[in-house]
């Protein structure tokens, strides 16, 4: 039997789900002055009856948004909120650190510049600088794609451990986006190894026909790869290997600058001259 959450329209015609509103009220009830509360205190502070509060609290505990101290029977905010807050904070911090290097890279290359990160086993686009040419990449800020998609996805996957790679490929199998896409698992893993060894990827029309992507990793203060930055270039007969090498240097230099802004102390050692 399927149960539907009851809801009602709020201000400006927005549809409001009562159960969700009440769960959020419970989370909002916590503060620096009220870091721990019993079920009775939660019910009193939110105005909910105790039975309703108990059901909602149990669900929030199951999902990690609340945790209970079994000795005192009181509740406090859970690690899931800490995790989500860390993602938000990192995204803001990353975009700020990447802002000028991205703008400079777009100016130096005239190409579309994309910044992406791994979130919930997907590639999420965090920022973008539109290129000067005719290329328009349909990957706007906030868009999600399979983690193995395109230049950014391959860079991010290259720095996962083997178990992580296998898990992602099982969850979202490789798919042909163009006639040049790699769909063989063994070949794809070999490509990831190559990316790790050289520190960048040159993706030739594997995600979008007519577009060459060049991307490299961004590291934070802990040396972890937390994002990837890349440019999308129109693939033409005039695009030489010398051009590719110049673009690789510019992309890697931008990644070094961003990593340095994030506190990666050894980033300068990887600078491409």
Eight-state DSSP code of residue 268: G
DSSP H/E element including 55: helix 50-62
* Distance from the first to the final alpha carbon of the chain: 65
Do residues 206 and 180 make contact, with C-beta atoms less than 8 angstroms apart? yes
State the pLDDT at residue 2.
Answer: 39
pLDDT along the chain (273 residues), means of 10: 46 71 93 89 94 95 93 91 70 85 95 92 90 66 87 96 94 92 94 96 92 95 93 90 95 96 67 44
CATH number at residue 239: 3.30.450.40
Model pTM?
0.65
How many domains are there within the chain? Answer: 2
- What pLDDT is stored for residue 177 in this prediction? 92
Domain membership flag for residue 2? no
Please name the residues in contact with 267: beta carbons below 8 A apart, sequence gap of 6 or more: 219, 256, 259, 260
Same domain, residue pair 130 and 261: yes
Residues 91 and 131 grouped into a single domain: yes
User: What is the model's pLDDT at position 246?
Assistant: 96
Residue 242 lies in a domain: yes
Same domain, 56 and 191: no
**Could you tell me the CATH number of the domain that includes residue 59?**
1.10.10.10
Alpha-carbon dihedral sign for residues 62, 66, 69, 72: negative
Q: Which domain holds residue 218?
A: 85-270
Last residue of a domain, one of 44, 77, 110: 77
């Amino acid at each position: 039997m399927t149960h539907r959450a009851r809801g009602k329209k709020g201000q400006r015609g927005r549809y409001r789900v009562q159960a969700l509103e009440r769960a959020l009220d419970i989370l909002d009830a916590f503060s620096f002055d009220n870091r721990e509360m019993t079920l009775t205190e939660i019910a009193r502070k939110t105005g909910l009856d105790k039975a309703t509060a108990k059901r909602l609290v149990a669900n929030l505990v199951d999902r990690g948004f609340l945790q209970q101290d079994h000795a005192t029977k009181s509740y406090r905010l859970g690690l899931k909120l800490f995790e989500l807050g860390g993602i938000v904070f990192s995204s803001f911090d990353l975009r700020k650190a990447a802002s000028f290097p991205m703008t400079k890279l777009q100016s130096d290359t005239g190409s579309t510049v994309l910044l992406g990160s791994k979130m919930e086993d997907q590639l999420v686009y965090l920022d973008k600088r539109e290129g000067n040419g005719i290329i328009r990449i349909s990957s706007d800020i906030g868009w999600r794609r399979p983690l193995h998609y395109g230049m950014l996805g391959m860079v991010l996957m290259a720095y996962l451990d083997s178990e992580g790679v296998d898990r992602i490929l099982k969850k979202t199998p490789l798919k042909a986006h163009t006639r040049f896409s790699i769909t063989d698992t063994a070949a794809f893993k070999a490509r990831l190894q190559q990316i790790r060894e050289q520190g960048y990827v040159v993706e030739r029309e594997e995600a979008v026909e007519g577009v060459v992507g060049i991307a490299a990793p961004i590291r934070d203060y802990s040396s972890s790869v937390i994002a990837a930055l890349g440019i999308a270039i129109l693939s033409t007969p005039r695009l030489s290997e010398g051009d590719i090498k110049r673009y690789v240097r510019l992309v890697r230099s931008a990644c070094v600058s961003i990593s340095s802004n994030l506190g990666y102390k050894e980033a300068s050692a990887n600078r491409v001259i």
